[in-house]
Amino acid sequence: MTQLTQQILSGVATGAIYASLALALVMIHQATESVNFAQGEMAMFSTYIAWSLVQVGTPFWIAFVLTVVISFIGGVLIERIIVRPVENAPVLSHVIVFIGLLVIFSAVAGWIFTYTVKQFPSPFPTKPLLGGAVTGHDLGVIGVTFVMLILLFLFFRFTPLGLAMRAAAQNPESARLVGIRVGWMLAIGWGLAAAVGAVAGIMVAPILFLDPHMMSGVLLYAFAAALLGGISSPGGAVLGGLIVGVLENLVGTYLIASELKLTMALALIIIVLVVKPSGLFGAHAVKRV
């Protein structure tokens, strides 16, 4: 029983990380109808920035805030410089550009920081809590993620900028007519997604250790989370992330060998896409012929 609670709680913690990355994917998908395949690699790179800041002696939380800000600016710049020119190009071009980004981030990280695996400090106490059911880091991750989710919710619900971004994503033409600068809203969306990804990266790095390939598996789970919850629904993505996190732990402990975890995520993705492409909470995509 203890083992079960333990697995569920640590599943919720990793699930919170998948939820963050899935949320980043959903934010970009909402605005541009495409999936940013480089999201994981961008998060990985942000984590390296945080790592370097901590290495030179910056206190953890200051490094955290700085990294989130730098990632936001980086995300905005990527949208403006690299994604903008192919905005109206066919899907294949989007995919190729995103894969190009993925490869470049991975290579530059390897080039600057080498491929040696690095330890990443956790800001939370590592000692087990609640009679060994959960580690301090897990609880911290859950806390940070939920604070971030609430902030995002308040931002999109109550601030003029957040509302303008939603308008730009839902109906670009009308948004433009009421004076919203749609292009910049997309860029800010990219910035926010990069910042959310950075938080996910920093939270997962103490568990997975830092190396340039750290996020490829996490991205796969985030895909599964986003699709399970419905890629058009931010709340769904978060719930999907938690489900996938818990499922990963339970299935990996009780049902199949842990070598098949990624295959399980792949199977989940295929099943969702084939059986219920809109996910649990997503809107049905209606296509005009």
The verdict on 284 binding other proteins (CB under 8 A) reads no
Find the binding residues for other proteins in span 214-233 (CB under 8 A).
216-217, 219-220, 223-224, 227
Neighbours of 170 (CB within 10 A): 11
Residue 86 found at the interface with other proteins (CB under 8 A): yes
Residue 255 binding other proteins, by CB under 8 A? no
Instruction: Using CB under 8 A, pick the residue from 8, 108, 251, 280 that binds other proteins.
Output: 108
Shortest Å, Cβ 268 to other proteins: 10
Nearest to 145, CA basis, from 21, 11, 280: 21
Question: Using CB under 8 A, which residues numbered 27 to 46 contact other proteins?
Answer: 33-35, 37
Distance in Å, CB of 286 to other proteins, minimum: 13
Which of 100, 121, 125, 128 forms a contact with other proteins (CB under 8 A)?
100
Shortest distance (Å) from residue 89 CB to other proteins: 8
**Least separation, in Å, of the C-beta of 83 and other proteins?**
11
- Output the six-digit token pair for 104: 């470049």
What is the footprint of other proteins within residues 146-205 (CB under 8 A)? none
Q: Which of 77, 104, 129, 251 binds other proteins (CB under 8 A)?
A: 104
User: Which residue stretch of 56-64, 109-117, 119-127, 244-252 sits at the interface with other proteins (rule: CB under 8 A)?
Assistant: 109-117
From candidates 260, 276, 280, 281, binder to other proteins by CB under 8 A: 260
Neighbours of 20 (CB within 10 A): 31
d(CA 229, CA 231): 7
Cβ distance to other proteins smaller for residue 99 or 130: 99
Rounded to 5 degrees, what are φ and ψ at 26?
A: -65, -40
How many Å apart are CA 90 and CA 110, to the nearest integer? Answer: 31
Please identify which residue in 4, 69, 107, 150 interacts with other proteins, judged by CB under 8 A: 107
Other CB atoms closer than 10 Å to residue 160's CB: what's the count?
8
> Does residue 125 touch other proteins according to CB under 8 A?
no
Which positions touch other proteins (CB under 8 A)? 33-35, 37, 82, 85-86, 89-97, 99-104, 106-111, 115, 216-217, 219-220, 223-224, 227, 257, 259-263, 265-266, 269-270, 273-274, 277, 289
